[in-house]
Amino acid sequence: KSIAHCLNDAGYKTGWIGKWHIDGQGRHSYTPPERRQGFDYWRTLECTHDYNNSPYFGDSPEKKYWKGYDAIEQTKDAQAYLEHHASSGSDSPFGLFLSWGPPHAPYQTAPEKYHKLYADTEITLRKNVPDEQREEAIKTYKGYYAHMTALDDCMGDLIKTLEETGLAENTILVYTSDHGDMLHSRGAMKKQQPWDESLRIPFLLRWPENLKN
C-alpha cells in the first residue's frame, strides 16, 4: 500500500509529475493506471536523462514530450496543478509529487543561461578529488551547479505559486532526493558507492506557522 493509497483513503487528491523509475517495465514504457500506485494525476515517464528531449505519458499510451528543459516544464505543470486546485473550490487536500531528473548526469545539459553563471567562476573541489581529475572535475562541477541553479529557480517558482494561490498557509513542502553523487571524489562518479558523497541527501521541510499546532 503506497503513500498515494493512504492519502487517497484520507480524502486527498494525488499527483505525480516527472521521473517515476519504479515500475520496471522499461524506461520509455507506458505505465497503465493500475500500476501507478494510486496516483490520480499523471504526467510521468519511467526514466530518461535526455532532459531537453524528454517524453512523458498522461492518461493514455500516447507519448508526449516536454517542451525544452524538462525540469522547468514539469514545474510549470505543477504550478498549473496548484492553480487549478486553488480555483476549483474543492475542499479536498492534495498530495503532489514533482520528481525532477537533474542534477543527475549528463551534467552539461542545463539551459545555457545557467552555464553562463559559472563560466568564469572559481570552483572549490572536494579535498578528496584526485589531482589528475581536477580539470575534468571543475567542468563537471560547473555543469552540476548549472542544473542545481535551474532547480533553485524552479523551487522559487513553486513557492511563488503557492503564495499567489493562497495555498502556502496550509501546504507542507518537502524537498529531498534519492541519492547523492560522487563527482570525482575518491576518483569515482555518480551513485551506488558506499561513501557519504553518494549516500547523503538534502531534506528540507517548509511547515506553515498555522499548522504547527
**pLDDT, tens digit (0-9, with 9 covering 90-100), for 34-62:** 999 999 999 999 999 999 999 999 999 99
User: Distance between CA atoms of 201 and 25, rounded to whole angstroms?
Assistant: 27
Task: Provide the grid cell at 93.
Answer: 487536500
pLDDT for 125-181, tens place per residue?
999 999 999 999 999 999 999 999 999 999 999 999 999 999 999 999 999 999 999
The pTM assigned to this predicted structure is 0.95
Whether the pLDDT of residue 210 is over 80: the answer is no
Output the pLDDT for position 213: 60
Q: Residue 74 burial by CB count (10 A; 0-12/13-18/19+): exposed, middle or buried?
A: buried
Q: How far apart are the first and last CA of the chain?
A: 28
